[in-house]
């Protein structure tokens, strides 16, 4: 069963205390997490699934709504190579900590020898993968270990014109290579990629 937005606000977001991190507004984490909850509505999530999240980040912004949607019979293996500062605090206070397994790893090389996950997700993390080579390695690893892959990235996804052109080129190239298996969401605010590994050619 998928829970609605109002229930998510009541059951999860309301448990997160306001933050004192000016110039950000006190409810910035709530706003960001609600955006991730909306992004995850595009993913065919079922309760009890075993999901790998790449680049979960310090605040578990995607991890919490993902875990909530999977329910306590589900699992999120949350991977990040470095940023964990508030992860424990946020997952504890929201009540989803016990079905999340945090792993400090570089996602360019994942330690899973076979397809161990129903789904792998990367939400608003493409921008943090430093080079095209890293993007290709990380996405290839996600495809190797999961049945399905879901990637979302928001705009603007780059800090300057050069980065923007680079990322656009990469996404267009990816789309050209995998036209039939790549689903590109037309919403200009949140382009979403869904990859079906069985139809992908090697990158």
Ligand X SMILES: C[S@@+](CC[C@H](N)C(=O)[O-])C[C@H]1O[C@@H](n2cnc3c(N)ncnc32)[C@H](O)[C@@H]1O
Using the rule CB under 6 A, is 149 a contact of ligand X?
no
90 is an interface residue for ligand X by CB under 6 A: no
55 contributes a contact to ligand X by CB under 6 A: yes
Contacting residue, 14, 82, 92, 131, with ligand X by CB under 6 A: 82
- Quick one: three-class SS letters along the chain? CCCCHHHHHHHCHHHCCCCCCCCCCCCHHHHHHHHHHHHHHHCCCCCCCEEEEECCCCCCCCHHHHHHHHCCCCEEEEEECCCCCCHHHHHHHCCCHHHEEEEECCCCCCCCCCCCEEEEEEECCHHHCCCHHHHHHHHHHHHHHEEEEEEECCCCCCCCHHHHHHHHHHHHHHHHHCCCCEEECCCCCCCEEEECHHHCCCC
Q: Does 74 bind ligand X (CB under 6 A)?
A: no
Q: Is 83 in the site for ligand X (CB under 6 A)?
A: yes
CB of 106 or CB of 198, closer to ligand X: 106
Binding segment (CB under 6 A) for ligand X, from list 15-23, 94-102, 110-118, 124-132: 124-132
Binding segment (CB under 6 A) for ligand X, from list 23-31, 76-84, 142-150, 189-197: 76-84
Q: Report if residue 106 touches ligand X, rule: CB under 6 A.
A: yes
For residue 30, state whether it binds ligand X (rule: CB under 6 A): no
Sites of contact with ligand X (CB under 6 A): 36, 55-57, 61-62, 79-83, 106-108, 123-125, 128-129, 134, 138
């Amino acid at each position: 069963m998928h829970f609605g937005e109002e229930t998510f606000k009541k059951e999860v977001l309301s448990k997160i205390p306001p933050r004192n991190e000016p110039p950000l507004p006190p409810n910035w984490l709530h706003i960001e997490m609600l955006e991730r909850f909306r992004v995850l509505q595009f993913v065919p999530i079922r309760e009890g699934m075993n999901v790998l999240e790449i680049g979960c980040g310090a605040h578990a912004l995607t991890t919490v709504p993902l875990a909530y949607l999977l329910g306590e019979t589900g699992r999120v293996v949350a991977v990040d190579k470095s940023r964990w500062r508030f992860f424990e605090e946020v997952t504890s206070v929201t009540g989803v900590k016990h079905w999340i397994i945090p792993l400090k790893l570089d996602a360019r090389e994942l330690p899973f020898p076979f397809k161990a996950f129903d789904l792998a997700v990367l939400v608003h993390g493409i921008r943090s993968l430093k080079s095209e080579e890293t993007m290709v390695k990380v996405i290839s690893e996600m495809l190797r270990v999961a049945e399905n892959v879901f990637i979302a990235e928001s705009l603007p996804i780059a800090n300057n014109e050069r980065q923007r052109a680079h990322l656009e080129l990469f996404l267009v190239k990816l789309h050209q290579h995998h036209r039939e298996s790549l689903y590109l969401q037309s919403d200009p605010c949140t382009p979403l990629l869904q990859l079906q590994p069985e139809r992908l050619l090697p990158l």
